[in-house]
Structure 1
Amino acid sequence: MRERWEAAGLGVAFAVVLAEWAYRIVDSWGGGYWVAGCVAGTVVGVLALLRRRARLWTAVAGLAVAAVAIVVARLFGLPAEPGPGVALALSVLVGSALRRLPVPQAAAGVGAGGLAVALGSQFSGSPHSAVLALNLGAWLAALAGGLGPRWLAARRAAAAERVRRSERLELARELHDVVAHHVTCVVLQAQAAQLVARKDPGRVAGSLADIEAAGSDALAATRRVVGLLREPGGPAAFGPAERLGELVAHFGGPPVALRLPDGEPAWPSEVAGTVYRLVQESLTNISRHAPGASAVTVSVTQEDEELVVEVTDDAPPAHRNRGRLGGGYGLVGMRERAEALGGTLSAGPRPEGGWTVHARLPLPERATTGSTSATARGTSATDRRTSSTDRRTSAGAGGWERR
């Protein structure tokens, strides 16, 4: 719909310019001297309206029509070309090509052709410099309108790539922690199996099963991490598995309601770390870009085979979009983390007001069935005792609630 309105406005502008130019030619030259210029302006204007279908060829065709108009004006003693209508249409065609053409050489060729046509207007038979100034001004406008947005887009792409590179470097630093955790489990289980083999050989099978489970977990985590490192443009990375209660309790913004699944879910460290980082970045965005928010809700729900993370605030419309869409490189990193686990992430304003970040992270089969090794169960028991202490501390501060 927006493109249609833009095309309609541009068409009206072309018509007004051509009509005004024809009136002035009739007033000063008389007769039918306006016909050739209006025909050329109409043809190039139509090409400008159709530029989105083939930006390169419409630009080349427009430049060719303008060049022919210059020759015709010179041979038959007509008013100098390109006239205002052709100049405006060429500005649109050249600017669009400079901005959108994927091949820089093609865009540069169109830009050079536009300059050649602007300079060629001096040879169309007019002794006045106004025609040359008009066409050079239109060409400079096309240059600014095409290369300016292209340069800004290149800067945004470079900034996004720096974010991805930073995420991959962080992934490389954290790779040791993820792998070391799982390998430690394997080593402990192997040591336990040696003791069991001497005291009770009948229980060796169970110990070997625990070793196999811990090794499978290590292999799955390592494959996910190394797979990300092998793809230069791929998503990254994982974070450590800190507890959300501490994060919410230390948040310096509006009050946060934290809602977690019942019980003590056993998520893999890379999943728990990604959840933590998503919530951390979302709260950081709220503190920076939603000064009018009075309440925040952090919800983590576990469905059959995936984890749903949602962070919402109630910032009024005057504050909810400021700074979040234009340079949201934090959202780039959040999306990279979610996609690293095969999940999805979306962010945007809510119809009723405020902002929401919604992520879905698939859970490994072992996490959903609750199958864990003996060492993992011992670690989980320790985490449960620590988590209970955290809940009492955070609940006393009024910072979060469980659902």
Structure 2
Amino acid sequence: MRFARTSTDVALGGVVLALLGYSAYQLATVWGPQYWILDTVAGAVVGVIALLRRHDQWRPAVAGLGIAFVTGLVAWTAGLPTEPGPAMAVGLAVLVGSGVATLPIAKAVAVAAGGLIVAVGSVLVGHSSGIGTVNVAGWLVAVVAGSAVRIRDVRRHAAAERIRQDERLELARELHDVVAHHISGIVLQAQGARIVGRRTPSQYDESLAGIEAAGADALAAMRRMVGLLRSDDVVPGPVRLDELRELVERFEDRGPAVELQLPATEPSWPPEVMITVCRVVQESLTNVARHAAHATTVTVHVAQLHHTVAVEVIDDAEPATRHQRAGYGLIGLRERVEALGGTLAAGPGPTGWAVSASVPLEPAR
């Protein structure tokens, strides 16, 4: 991303410099000595402002449009060549397009309106209809391009929100299942405590301690699940290793072979942890199917390391197929893992694409 931005800035700088040189030569040839100075200085300043716009789109746009307006007014009153010139028109197009694409709607409209005033003004009071046409065309391209980027971002945001709402509804069902699981255990222990109290009164306190511990576990699990609900991004799925094995088998029926490494016995992990582990595997395999069609083998490794569950999914796709796979699924998955106090990383690995997650078995205190 940084390389792409640098390349864009270098290209923009090159275009502005080339246009400044061309305009200066033409003005000096047609209009005479010193007529090129205003155009060159103002165009260079606006070009530099366009290159420095990265972290603040509003103030550079206002500054660039202000300089263009003043320059055009000076040129008109002094009988100088039409302004803004070609170099400044490119800088203004960049500033207006960036502003329309990223600024809040009111400021975006203000920037677009300011650019239109400058462009139309160059047509109405300028000495060259050709330069005025260049300014209007530059403004039109900037507004169209900026609007297209803005509409794309709005659609992406709307799609993400729809996905989040659907997943929040599914998590509500998961929350019911998790709490029901723990409450059932409390009820069974309470029934056992009644029997123990009648037969062996000395063990009654021990039974009550077990009920208390079960209640604390239920409360902790509920808090963790509510944390997931607040994280907005969750995906429903299996809650046992057998169902995880079935998921892998279904994937192998349509995709590459999977080298699956799981705990030897069914672990006693909290339900919300098991669900999240399965979601990591499911989303990773889905990404392999979508983006790594040439992969021949996928390694899925799930293990408990002390008080943490580690998950790793690696494919062996060729380098040509290694590209960013950070769709809505991985974004939501990372938020879900982090809501449980864990971490998730995804990116190119030694042989292909790798997704690794670490999920703590107990909530942070």
**Cα shift at 1:55:** 2.6
Task: Flag the 1:52–1:285 CA change in 2: closer, same or farther, 3 A.
Answer: closer
Q: Distance in 1 between matches of 2:199 and 2:347?
A: 60
**Cα shift at 1:235:** 4.4
Which amino acid in the other structure matches residue 133 of structure 2? A
Which amino acid in the other structure matches residue 306 of structure 1? T
Q: Distance in 1 between matches of 2:282 and 2:67?
A: 58
Alignment of 1:212-231 (within 5 A): 212-229=212-229, 231=230
Alignment of 1:192-231 (within 5 A): 192-229=192-229, 231=230
**% identical equivalent positions:** 52
**Cα shift at 1:65:** 1.4
Counterpart in 1 of 2:144?
A: 144
Q: Distance in 1 between matches of 2:126 and 2:238?
A: 74
Q: Distance in 2 between matches of 1:294 and 1:237?
A: 27
Query: What's the secondary structure of 2:12's corresponding residue?
Result: helix
Q: Distance in 1 between matches of 2:290 and 2:125?
A: 58
Query: What's the secondary structure of 2:77's corresponding residue?
Result: helix
Query: What's the secondary structure of 1:159's corresponding residue?
Result: helix
Q: Deviations over 1:295-343 (max 9, x none)?
A: 1111112122211100111111222337x24xx1221232233123121
Alignment of 1:238-257 (within 5 A): 239-243=237-241, 244-251=244-251, 252=253, 253-257=255-259
Q: Distance in 2 between matches of 1:54 and 1:334?
A: 31
Alignment of 1:104-183 (within 5 A): 104-126=105-127, 128-183=128-183
Q: Distance in 2 between matches of 1:38 and 1:183?
A: 77
Q: Distance in 1 between matches of 2:227 and 2:263?
A: 30
Counterpart in 2 of 1:338?
A: 337
Counterpart in 2 of 1:355?
A: 353
Counterpart in 2 of 1:397?
A: none
Counterpart in 1 of 2:11?
A: 9
**Cα shift at 1:53:** 5.0
Which amino acid in the other structure matches residue 157 of structure 1? H
Q: Retained in 2: the 8 A contact 1:167–1:333?
A: no
Q: Retained in 1: the 8 A contact 2:345–2:356?
A: yes
Which amino acid in the other structure matches residue 343 of structure 1? G
Which amino acid in the other structure matches residue 85 of structure 2? G
What TM-score does the superposition give when structure 1 sets the normalisation length?
Answer: 0.82
Q: Retained in 2: the 8 A contact 1:341–1:361?
A: yes
Query: What's the secondary structure of 1:256's corresponding residue?
Result: strand
Task: Flag the 1:52–1:282 CA change in 2: closer, same or farther, 3 A.
Answer: closer
**Cα shift at 1:137:** 0.7
**Cα shift at 1:248:** 2.4
**Cα shift at 1:245:** 2.5
Q: Distance in 2 between matches of 1:50 and 1:172?
A: 47
Counterpart in 1 of 2:87?
A: 85
Task: Flag the 1:263–1:242 CA change in 2: closer, same or farther, 3 A.
Answer: closer
Task: Flag the 1:240–1:211 CA change in 2: closer, same or farther, 3 A.
Answer: farther
Q: Deviations over 1:252-278 (max 9, x none)?
A: 222211112455532111111211122
Q: Distance in 2 between matches of 1:245 and 1:161?
A: 31
Task: Flag the 1:111–1:334 CA change in 2: closer, same or farther, 3 A.
Answer: same
Counterpart in 2 of 1:364?
A: 362
Task: Flag the 1:238–1:260 CA change in 2: closer, same or farther, 3 A.
Answer: same
Gaps of 5+ in 2: none
Q: Retained in 2: the 8 A contact 1:73–1:81?
A: yes
Q: Distance in 1 between matches of 2:131 and 2:311?
A: 62
Task: Flag the 1:332–1:235 CA change in 2: closer, same or farther, 3 A.
Answer: same
Which amino acid in the other structure matches residue 114 of structure 1? G
Q: Retained in 2: the 8 A contact 1:296–1:313?
A: yes
Q: Deviations over 1:203-232 (max 9, x none)?
A: 222221221121111111112223444x3x
Query: What's the secondary structure of 2:341's corresponding residue?
Result: coil
Q: Distance in 2 between matches of 1:283 and 1:228?
A: 22
Query: What's the secondary structure of 2:300's corresponding residue?
Result: strand
Q: Distance in 2 between matches of 1:227 and 1:289?
A: 31
Which amino acid in the other structure matches residue 150 of structure 1? R
Alignment of 1:13-24 (within 5 A): 13-24=15-26
Provide the aligned length of Structure 1 versus Structure 2. 358
Q: Distance in 2 between matches of 1:319 and 1:4?
A: 25
Q: Deviations over 1:131-168 (max 9, x none)?
A: 33211111012213323223222222222222222221
Which amino acid in the other structure matches residue 116 of structure 1? I
Which amino acid in the other structure matches residue 66 of structure 1? A
Q: Distance in 2 between matches of 1:171 and 1:363?
A: 19
Q: Distance in 2 between matches of 1:50 and 1:226?
A: 43
Q: Deviations over 1:68-120 (max 9, x none)?
A: 1221222121111111111111111212222333x321222111100110011
Q: Distance in 1 between matches of 2:168 and 2:335?
A: 10
Q: Distance in 2 between matches of 1:203 and 1:240?
A: 38
Alignment of 1:283-362 (within 5 A): 283-321=285-323, 324-325=325-326, 328-350=327-349, 352-362=350-360
Counterpart in 1 of 2:52?
A: 50
**Cα shift at 1:239:** 4.3
Query: What's the secondary structure of 2:259's corresponding residue?
Result: strand
What TM-score does the superposition give when structure 2 sets the normalisation length?
Answer: 0.90
**Cα shift at 1:237:** 5.8
Q: Retained in 2: the 8 A contact 1:343–1:359?
A: yes
